[in-house]
Amino acid sequence: MKIPISKMAAAVQPSATLAAGAKARQLKAEGKTVYDFSLGEPDFPTPAHICDAAHQAMLQGHTHYTAASGLVELRAAIARYYQKNYGLTVSPEQVIVSNGAKHSIHNMLESTVGPGDEVIIPTPYWVSYSDMVQMTGASYVLVPTTEASGFKMTAAQLRHAITPRSRLLMLNSPSNPTGSVYSRKELEALADVILDSNLAVMSDEIYEKLVYGDTKMTCFAAMRPELAERTITISGVSKSYAMTGWRMGWAVGPAHVIKMMGNVQSQQTSSPCSISQYAAITALDGEQKCVEEMRQEFAVRRDLVCRRLSELPGIHCKPPDGAFYAFFNVSAHFGKTLGGVKITDSTSFCAAALETAHVNLVQGSAFGAEGYARLSFATSRAVINAGLDRLGQFLGS
């Protein structure tokens, strides 16, 4: 007899970004040169002083289980971080450390919503949001935004989306995949609607250190005392400190929610990696020059990518204000034949670009935005230039 698969597992789709990366690795294994712009992973090494802290932790014997919700020393460091950067006062009991920000999001959903509940998600959205909501038995409501609106949901759209079943808004600023950053004024307008409802908010701020030009980062929970009682803030060290493989994310929120998340995590994975936690303490409390140096390089790459994309036929890209993604319109090529392939949508566009030009992008449909493609510029300028040369040849084919 074949082991049956649960309805939940059967409904979950594989991550589109991870699937794109796997296909690129397959082509590389075949000896082909692939220009991979699919993964949101900084190409910088983890700063040396953070690695040294991990080594010292091992030498000192910190290689055992910690508290399920994370070391109190790390949770205190995270609390200090929010006080210093945003003026948000939280206690260590309001912080949980998880195996990456994605894990924190999953635990937050498991602890706050379930069957019969609705979760509001503005589109375009990070590929995992909708599937993680479905895994709880809750349903999601997508609110489409446009390039003209800066890919940002308005207060009127949010008000219209709320129903008696609405429990949570999933907000992401700076955004993956668009790079959009909500201004404080825009967030205040959303806050007015939220505080006039029963909605809680998940504010995913994992790209908080990566903003460009005159753009300012706003921590949603820190805007008003009432918002801190309604908001679970998600972040971590993966993007800002080039620590993706260390799997260190966290959630900050009301103590009763964080406690429930800790209960879930204790049954699910036990504690996060002890060594990574000690490294994260040094990342937050240590010198921050490395963060700014990486941000400045990402800013140069952003300008390079936007300039190069603007020179390609039929491509339009709104410059991102944050994160490290260019989300560009490819719909002008629908109906054409490129590289011998008929292009009908963003999926066929990206598949053809990978197969014929060996340029790896992620289709906009995976983010709830047909007609677009996402390019991660978390890679070197040389790769960016070479890859966009190849993309230009593909578009001219």
Alpha-carbon gap, residue 161 to 141, rounded angstroms = 8
Average pLDDT of the chain to the nearest whole number: 96
Beta strands in 24-104 (DSSP E): 35-36, 95-98
Alpha-carbon gap, residue 57 to 40, rounded angstroms = 28
Alpha-carbon gap, residue 219 to 191, rounded angstroms = 12
pLDDT digits (tens, 9 = 90+) for 254-312: 999 999 999 999 999 999 999 999 999 999 999 999 999 999 999 999 999 999 999 99
Alpha-carbon gap, residue 143 to 154, rounded angstroms = 10
What mean pLDDT comes out for the span 150-171? 98
- Cα–Cα distance list, 9 to 56, 136, 244 (Å): 41, 11, 26
Q: What is the pLDDT of residue 13?
A: 79
Long-range contacts for 145-153 (Cβ within 8 Å, ≥24 apart)? 147/316, 147/318, 147/329, 150/180, 150/318, 151/124, 151/175, 151/178, 151/180, 151/318, 151/327, 152/122, 152/180, 152/182, 152/186, 153/122, 153/190
Domain range spanning residue 329?
A: 7-45+290-395
Whether residues 124 and 239 fall in one domain: yes
Number of domains observed in the structure of the chain: 2
Whether residues 270 and 330 fall in one domain: no
Sheet bearing 325-329, strands edge to edge: 316-317, 325-329, 372-376, 362-363
The answer, yes or no, to whether residue 235 has pLDDT greater than 80, is yes
In this structure, is residue 380 part of a structural domain? yes
Report the run of H or E that residue 204 belongs to, with start and end.
Answer: strand 200-204
The residue from 261, 285, 309 where one domain ends is 285
Q: What is the pLDDT of residue 324?
A: 98
The answer, yes or no, to whether residue 14 has pLDDT greater than 80, is no
**Percentage of residues of the chain with pLDDT beyond 70:** 100
Report the run of H or E that residue 202 belongs to, with start and end.
Answer: strand 200-204
- Cα–Cα distance list, 78 to 48, 234, 282 (Å): 21, 11, 11
Q: What is the pLDDT of residue 205?
A: 98
Q: What is the DSSP letter of 141?
A: E
pLDDT digits (tens, 9 = 90+) for 123-152: 999 999 999 999 999 999 999 999 999 999
Q: What is the pLDDT of residue 175?
A: 98
pLDDT digits (tens, 9 = 90+) for 23-50: 788 888 888 899 999 988 999 999 999 9
Whether residues 40 and 102 fall in one domain: no
Whether residues 169 and 212 fall in one domain: yes
The residue from 254, 285, 316 where one domain ends is 285
Yes or no: say if 215 and 322 are a contact pair by the CB < 8 Å rule.
Answer: yes
Which phi and psi angles does 28 have, rounded to 5°? -65, -40
The answer, yes or no, to whether residue 56 has pLDDT greater than 90, is yes
Alpha-carbon gap, residue 297 to 236, rounded angstroms = 20
Alpha-carbon gap, residue 21 to 96, rounded angstroms = 30
Q: How many CA atoms lie within 13 A of 196 on its CB side?
A: 12
What CATH number is given to the structural domain containing 12? 3.90.1150.10
Q: What is the pLDDT of residue 23?
A: 78
pLDDT digits (tens, 9 = 90+) for 174-200: 999 999 999 999 999 999 999 999 999
- Cα–Cα distance list, 365 to 33, 123, 124, 220, 359 (Å): 26, 10, 9, 28, 18
Closest CA to 150 of 127, 169, 170, 173: 173
Whether residues 146 and 257 fall in one domain: yes
**How would residue 105 be classed by pLDDT, with cut points 50, 70 and 90?**
very high
